[in-house]
Structure 1
Amino acid sequence: MGCFWQFTFATLTSRRSNVNAYPLRNILFVLLIVALAISACGPAAAVPTATPTAPPATPTQAPPRKLVLMSHDSFNASEEVIAEFEQANNAKVEFLKAGDAGKALNQAILSKNNPLADVFFGVDNTFFSRAIDADIFEAYQPKGLENITDTFKLDPRFRLTPIDWGDVCLNYDKRYFEQKGLQPPTTLEDLVKPEYKGLLVVENPATSSPGLAFLLTTVAHFGPDKYLDFWKALRENDVTITEGWEDAYYGQFSGGSGSQGDKPIVVSYATSPPAEVYFSEGKLTEPPTAAVIGDDTCFRQIEFAGILKGTKNRDLAEKFMDFLISTRFQEDVPLQMFVFPVNREARLPEVFVKFAQIAPKPAQLSPEEIGANRDKWIEAWTDTMLH
């Protein structure tokens, strides 16, 4: 358009004063020139251009895969530790807590044809043979097994892998014995002496994991034929029996922080004293309780985990098993569940180093012997102590 207006303005202006002097043919000639000029100044022929293309799409990460961990109610782990596994494996871990160790295992067995989870945590050596006989676990050898002491590896096929361990022992109220001028018990036999009459609280082995562990301690120490004689003597010495650990420790025991009872001896864990210090949040510099760790007075519990048969996430379950015995997870275990890690490379927290006690010679029973006789021993105990 600029070319057209420049041309016509110049041409017509130069001839404006003389337009009447031109004949018609001259006017037509001028119009022809204008038309040619317009054609010459028109838009240039279109140049083909490439069709714009969208920028390449940024790869999107697949949604995280869900891994379900079934366990007893006491399982715990730091959120940041679990988050590290999730981030490294694009996973989301869901927790299915299913009651105490025995109840959780029973649920896993009952649902074996349609498993509720991918991995199970919480089989201990008191239920080990039941779990193996039920055939609900897939064999897998996690990475890092070389860092685990062989005595914890009870299954050569690694359907169950050891994760943690701890000693169930008698705990006593240090202040009570100091004030009374009485020596704390050092053997099981001490518990039936007159000076300890009415001082002991224990848990029912039919409903409590530490209660069962203590029953097994007495079977191992006195023998299958004489352990009931010991229990009869305890009954005569006014032993108190509760359904679970919490009632025994916080309701009947006198030594724990927040305990409301008057019994200075309780069946608990050798790691209960450091737990007292840790949960005092600086108020205690040493525990108010101590564990009795004489020969045959404690029972060593080992906890295991395994991949449940029928999982649809076998590869992710394997990675989680690797993670459970890794140093990162194992160092989280002590202050989350107050048990010891099985990984020798895991460092213990200071409160464990200072105050945790380890039984040098705990009572010994094989998982096979326990599995073959556990129910019979519990039934006989119930008839002796509760009927």
Structure 2
Amino acid sequence: MKLRMLMIFILVVATLVAQAQAADTVVLVTHDSFAISESLLDSFEAQTGLAVEVLRAGDAGQMVNQAILSKNNPLGDVLYGVDNTFLSRALAGEIFAAYQSPALDTVAAQFLRDDFFVTPVDFGDVCLNYDIAWFEENELSLPQSLAELADEKYAGLLAVQNPATSSPGLAFLLATIANFGEADEGGYLDYWAALRANDVLVADGWTDAYYGEFTIGSRGAGTRPLVVSYASSPPAEVIYAEDPSAGAVTGALIEDGMCFRQVEYVGALQGSANQAGAQLLIDFMLSAEFQADMPLNMFVFPVVEGTELPAEFVEYAQVPAQPAFVAPADIEAKREAWIQAWAEAMLR
């Protein structure tokens, strides 16, 4: 009897300790590209008394898939980095708890949603990036449209990402659908068949494609001078170069229809241990200090109006005038079918 009472006492104490620890910590589940200044997390802790534990869960698609599979035992309290290409999958998986942040009134109207399961944080345009020196040295003109990429003169030059596991990969797939449509002849699948015949390389995620295959990102180890990345990637190459004064080594192709705009969101995970802390972290992500910190760390644009951009970002980042567009309702209704059709055409 005494032993039984002792075991119950130990279990109760362990539960109380775990609850206390959860109340003092917010676990942020995010993608591998998440990066902010360490001082920001210190600032959040100073303001709230809550420490932030960052859990990286792969590319955006992988992260969402893991969150859905573990929704009955959430990986953390907050999920950041789901974008408009994967959002409908996350919402259908019912992984988020609704929360209306009081800071939403500072967000540009174009990014606001009718529901409050997720909160917009940043945006960026997925575009083709190119190695400036490579094209100059090989005296090859840059493609001026997606259709041109299928020309044999660009054979073996392009690296893309798998749209099933990569948000920029899915964004690029959506750009091709916007450009070529779904017709049996001349549609996006025929276009992808042409890219396959032109020796396109498909990587699992952005990191693999950019740092493994792209001639610049891989520091010469890769062989592809064209890669699907972001219009805001060129400033990163300048800032982190050994000699930033040398200027841009990469560029982005931002001609009409060649890019696709991504909006990234944050949401409180349903049933998590620290819902109150999750809401405080969401509010903090819309604060002036967090929004101003993102451009030179994650190389994305803030959604809060009036946020001042760093000089380097203004000089080297580009914003497409007319990115490709696919209606959110169509993405929600057809995304899985599009990805499946793409996989059958490209991976078999």
**Normalising to structure 2: TM-score of the pair?**
0.87
| Letter paired with 1:327 | A
Cα deviation, residue 327, structure 1: 0.8
Cα deviation, residue 257, structure 1: 6.6
Task: Report the 3-state secondary structure (helix = DSSP H, G, I; strand = E; otherwise coil) of the residue aligned with 1:354.
Answer: helix
Query: Rg bigger for which structure?
Result: 1
After the TM superposition, which residues 158-177 of structure 1 pair with which residues of structure 2 at under 5 Å, given as runs? 158-177=116-135
Q: Give the corresponding residue for 1:152.
A: 111
Q: Does 1:99 align with 2:92?
A: no
Q: Structure 1's 221 and 98: CA in aligned 2 closer, same or farther, altered over 3 A?
A: same
Cα deviation, residue 199, structure 1: 2.2
Q: Structure 1's 99 and 248: CA in aligned 2 closer, same or farther, altered over 3 A?
A: closer
Q: Which residue among 276, 288, 306 is the counterpart of 2:249?
A: 288
Task: Report the 3-state secondary structure (helix = DSSP H, G, I; strand = E; otherwise coil) of the residue aligned with 1:87.
Answer: helix
Note the alpha carbon deviations across 1:149-202, whole angstroms, 9 max, x for none: 22212x312110001111111111111222233321111111122332332222
Question: For 1:236 and 1:75, how far apart are their aligned partners in 2?
Answer: 34
Note the alpha carbon deviations across 1:88-109, whole angstroms, 9 max, x for none: 1111111222222122222222
Task: Report the 3-state secondary structure (helix = DSSP H, G, I; strand = E; otherwise coil) of the residue aligned with 1:290.
Answer: strand
Residues matched between the structures, number = 325
Q: Give the corresponding residue for 1:303.
A: 264
Q: For the Cα contact (< 8 Å) 2:179–2:257, is it kept in 1?
A: yes
Q: Give the corresponding residue for 2:310.
A: 349
Q: Does 1:380 align with 2:338?
A: no
Question: For 2:152 and 2:235, how far apart are their aligned partners in 1?
Answer: 30
Q: Which residue among 189, 193, 200 is the counterpart of 2:151?
A: 193
Question: For 1:259 and 1:269, how far apart are their aligned partners in 2?
Answer: 20
| Letter paired with 1:344 | E
Instruction: Give the gaps of 5 or more residues in structure 1.
Output: 1-61
Instruction: Give the gaps of 5 or more residues in structure 2.
Output: 1-19
Cα deviation, residue 284, structure 1: 4.3
Q: For the Cα contact (< 8 Å) 2:155–2:199, is it kept in 1?
A: yes
| Letter paired with 2:159 | V
The higher-RCO structure (CA 8 Å, 6+ apart) is 2
Q: Does 1:338 align with 2:299?
A: yes
Q: Give the corresponding residue for 1:204.
A: 162
Q: For the Cα contact (< 8 Å) 1:71–1:95, is it kept in 2?
A: yes
Superposition misfits of 4+ residues, deviation over 4 angstroms: none
After the TM superposition, which residues 235-250 of structure 1 pair with which residues of structure 2 at under 5 Å, given as runs? 235-250=196-211
Q: Give the corresponding residue for 1:49.
A: none
Q: Does 1:123 align with 2:82?
A: yes
Question: For 1:116 and 1:255, how far apart are their aligned partners in 2?
Answer: 35
Question: For 1:311 and 1:385, how far apart are their aligned partners in 2?
Answer: 38
Q: Give the corresponding residue for 2:226.
A: 265
Note the alpha carbon deviations across 1:30-77, whole angstroms, 9 max, x for none: xxxxxxxxxxxxxxxxxxxxxxxxxxxxxxxx9972212122222222
